[in-house]
Chain A
Amino acid sequence: MHIRYIVLMTVALLLVVAPLAAQEATTITWLNCCNWPSEEVIAEFEAENPDINVEVETVDFNALFEQIQVRLGGGASDPDVLSVDVPVTAGYGLRGWLLPLDDAFSDEDRADWLPAALAAGTYNGELVSAPVSTSTQLLFINSDLFEAAGIEVPGVDDRLTYEQVADIAAQLTQDTDGDGITDQWGFSWEQTVRIYQLQPLAVGLGGQSIGDDGLTVDGVINSQAWIDGFTFYSDMFNESRVAPQDDTIGTSDLFWSGKMGMMIAGPWNINRYLREADDIDFDWTVARHPYFENGEVTTPTGSWHIGVNINSDSPDEAKRFVQWISTGAGAEAWWRRGSGDFPAQQSVLAQFQTDEEFDEGVQYFLRVAADEATVNPDPRAVSPGYLEYEQILQDAFQDIRTGADVEESLNLAVTRIESEMVKYRG
């Protein structure tokens, strides 16, 4: 009887205490982008912070902006944490959607971030989005396809001109099975219609991304530099047809399946290769980002930041997570096992130059990329209307890619963007 009493009491105690113990952990949600693998990183954070559970919602690039507009614009308390593409920081700050994060970071944390990244996350003197990563682009090359076509494979430190890229791409584009459909492509951009990757086409020829007031686009994105840059872009898809118009299979997938000779893409592809090396059976290398023969060398740059929803029900827990993933060990974990984007922390970036693991092989490409990130990086437009600017330009690039007249498409984009910027002119 006595034993039965003890057992009953224990079970009762467990039933009461166990849920209480489970309730102690606070759950926060992180609206994240682009299907980045996050399980391992989250597990590391939760192991260090057992009182916080992080639930990740991942959406694609365009959907991320829509979700933020709808949810934060509607005053929702979730997500608690959100990934922020850096050019939209000003817009979100202007709308008051992000919680100031100054008290979550020490002076040491701040000093470690790249100064440009810290400045980009600051709005009205307050830090509203913490820098997580920065980026650059390289030319990825399928060495096997080059050799099969009798073309010399460029060295890692070589920088081809766009004209050379077009010429080589024409030689690599083939219908290998003779069914009338191209099945081996010469070249494409990884983010085919995004200004992030395409801006150097215009800026490299002397163009600007946006007017000096951050609002005007007439005379800027329809200038001769833009028309010339995007005529080259159009020709790759429509004249020489060395790049696929159809995006059912993404550029990166085509390249890693051995069906594309060259792509301009982010160094995160190197991490992808490291994860999928067993399935990739061709030799590849990288070269520096291309430039126009009569233009300047300029490289894409930009970074992902992370912010806290101003209406979050768990702002302290959200800030702790944001602080962890944007500094020190968390930042390194996110770079190594998460998105693979370049870290925005100088201490982590320094590892590319000092660690032996980057001395040779595929890892050496990361050291090259870290250096390339310093070669005339051209940030995207800073504008409160960046979101509209980016989305409308996507439409224009999509139209150009599928054969629309370049000047007409850029002029249409001017009309649309100017019409949207009216509300920011006050």
Chain B
Amino acid sequence: MTGRERYIPYLFLLPALALIIIFNLFPTIATLIESLHGNSLVRGGRVFVGLGNFNRVLNDPVFWKSMQVTGLFSILVNPIQVALALGLALLANSKVRGITVFRSIYLLPVAVSINVTTVVWGLMLNSEGGLINGILNLVGIERQPFLISPSHALWSIIILATWKGVPLWTLFFLAGLQGIPQTVLEAARIDGAGRWQSFRFVTLPLLRGVLLFVLVADTVANFLLFAPVLLLTRGGPQLSTNLVMYETYRRGFVYGDLGVSSAMLSLMLLLVFAVIGVQFTLLRRRA
């Protein structure tokens, strides 16, 4: 390989690298810098405040409440979505009549924007005249305060996020399942493995890479969930859906406190890295 040829791969990588730097790395660094600054309400303008914003955030009961809500949301939504996606992928991978129609239908939510999804679900979940309450009413179940009760609202957001998110992850699992050689599955069957044993000892280990990707990507996507909270609950009722992303937005763009908002985002970033680190470690150890 000549000296010139050696650089060609990097040349091909350059456009992607440039986009990552502009849209990912630069905003991240800007956020970290902003988190060290604040608006001086006395002198006016932006001033360096060191770790002052972090100090305020860490002593802020509202931030800790939203961390608690985000934690609960993640613990519930990620396993539900991954399990459902895997189950749907196994169904979609089966060779039965009409499976192509099923594959087309379950993919539909991917094509609908999150904002449209949220508005439609909002109408369906309306406590007075919503479709779901109408159906419940028909079968004799009393109306449910889906979006206005602290005990219901987070579950409503989880259901909405699951409806929107699962089909995409199913697609990845389906690709993973179709990549497993039939010969391996046949060999297992010949060795006397039942369906569950085939799945447990052949399919699942071979899907480990896809599972890791889906788990990480799903976790990150759910940590960043924002539109349903903004459009449906605005963090309420009683902060029960006040995910950190929404609190960050509220501090920065509603209250104009960009320093504190950036500090929250920086802490969130650390949390995401920590959770992904744990996921990687656990899955590798199992391997």
- Whether, in the assembled complex, A402 has its beta carbon less than 8 Å from a beta carbon of chain B, the answer is yes
- CB–CB A384/B238 < 8 A: no
Shortest B256–chain A CB gap in Å is 4
Which B residues lie within 8 Å of A402 (CB)? 127, 145, 148-149, 237
Alpha-carbon distance between A416 and B236 when the two chains are bound, in angstroms: 13
- Whether, in the assembled complex, B15 has its beta carbon less than 8 Å from a beta carbon of chain A, the answer is no
* Chain A residues touching B, majority SS: helix
Which A residues lie within 8 Å of B38 (CB)? 423
The CB with the most chain B CB atoms within 10 A, among A404, A416, A420, A423, is that of A423
Binary CB contact string for chain A from 351 to 374 against chain B (1 if under 8 A, 0 otherwise) = 000000000000000000000000
Which B residues lie within 8 Å of A248 (CB)? 126, 128-129
Contact of B148 among A94, A181, A395, A403 (CB under 8 A): A403
Alpha-carbon distance between A419 and B65 when the two chains are bound, in angstroms: 13
- Whether, in the assembled complex, A21 has its beta carbon less than 8 Å from a beta carbon of chain B, the answer is no
- Whether, in the assembled complex, B103 has its beta carbon less than 8 Å from a beta carbon of chain A, the answer is no
Shortest B261–chain A CB gap in Å is 11
- Whether, in the assembled complex, A213 has its beta carbon less than 8 Å from a beta carbon of chain B, the answer is no
The 5 closest A-B pairs by CB, nearest first: A402-B148, A246-B128, A69-B256, A96-B44, A399-B237
- CB–CB A423/B41 < 8 A: yes
Stretch at the interface among A168-176, A334-342, A407-415: A407-415
- CB–CB B39/A95 < 8 A: yes
Binary CB contact string for chain A from 232 to 254 against chain B (1 if under 8 A, 0 otherwise) = 00000000000011101000000
Binary CB contact string for chain A from 415 to 426 against chain B (1 if under 8 A, 0 otherwise) = 110011011101
Alpha-carbon distance between A402 and B60 when the two chains are bound, in angstroms: 26
A→B interface (CB under 8 Å): 65-66, 69-70, 73, 94-96, 180-181, 244-246, 248, 384, 387-388, 391, 395, 398-399, 402-404, 408-409, 412, 415-416, 419-420, 422-424, 426
Which A residues lie within 8 Å of B24 (CB)? none
Q: Do A391 and B254 contact each other (CB < 8 Å), given the known contacts A96-B44, A181-B128, A415-B62? A: yes
Shortest B109–chain A CB gap in Å is 24
Shortest A237–chain B CB gap in Å is 11
Q: Do A94 and B258 contact each other (CB < 8 Å), given the known contacts A69-B253, A416-B62, A419-B60? A: no
Instruction: Write the chain A residue with the least CB distance to B147.
Output: A402
- Whether, in the assembled complex, B284 has its beta carbon less than 8 Å from a beta carbon of chain A, the answer is no
Shortest B265–chain A CB gap in Å is 16
Contact of A245 among B60, B61, B128, B250 (CB under 8 A): B128
Shortest A411–chain B CB gap in Å is 11
Instruction: Write the chain B residue with the least CB distance to A91.
Output: B256
Alpha-carbon distance between A244 and B137 when the two chains are bound, in angstroms: 19
Contact of A387 among B39, B61, B239, B255 (CB under 8 A): B255
Instruction: Write the chain A residue with the least CB distance to B259.
Output: A423
Alpha-carbon distance between A424 and B42 when the two chains are bound, in angstroms: 9
Instruction: Write the chain B residue with the least CB distance to A68.
Output: B256
Q: Do A404 and B41 contact each other (CB < 8 Å), given the known contacts A246-B127, A387-B255? A: no
- Residues of chain B from 211 to 265 with CB closer than 8 A to chain A in the complex: 234-239, 250, 253-258, 260
Alpha-carbon distance between A403 and B62 when the two chains are bound, in angstroms: 21
- CB–CB B137/A65 < 8 A: no
- CB–CB B149/A65 < 8 A: no
- CB–CB A422/B56 < 8 A: yes
Which A residues lie within 8 Å of B42 (CB)? 426
- Whether, in the assembled complex, B150 has its beta carbon less than 8 Å from a beta carbon of chain A, the answer is yes
Contact of B255 among A245, A246, A388, A404 (CB under 8 A): A388
- CB–CB A384/B41 < 8 A: yes
Shortest A180–chain B CB gap in Å is 7
Instruction: Write the chain A residue with the least CB distance to B237.
Output: A399
Q: Do A420 and B236 contact each other (CB < 8 Å), given the known contacts A95-B39, A245-B148, A402-B149? A: no
Contact of A395 among B44, B56, B235, B258 (CB under 8 A): B235
Instruction: Write the chain A residue with the least CB distance to B122.
Output: A248
- Residues of chain B from 133 to 173 with CB closer than 8 A to chain A in the complex: 137, 145, 148-150
Q: Do A412 and B239 contact each other (CB < 8 Å), given the known contacts A73-B256, A391-B254? A: yes
- CB–CB B145/A403 < 8 A: yes
- CB–CB A66/B56 < 8 A: no
Which A residues lie within 8 Å of B145 (CB)? 402-403
- CB–CB B238/A412 < 8 A: yes
Shortest B220–chain A CB gap in Å is 25
Which B residues lie within 8 Å of A388 (CB)? 255
- Residues of chain B from 28 to 67 with CB closer than 8 A to chain A in the complex: 38-39, 41-42, 44-45, 56, 60-62
The CB with the most chain B CB atoms within 10 A, among A244, A387, A412, A424, is that of A412
Q: Do A420 and B137 contact each other (CB < 8 Å), given the known contacts A248-B128, A395-B234, A395-B236? A: no
Shortest B135–chain A CB gap in Å is 14
Alpha-carbon distance between A95 and B43 when the two chains are bound, in angstroms: 9
Alpha-carbon distance between A395 and B235 when the two chains are bound, in angstroms: 9
Alpha-carbon distance between A65 and B256 when the two chains are bound, in angstroms: 10
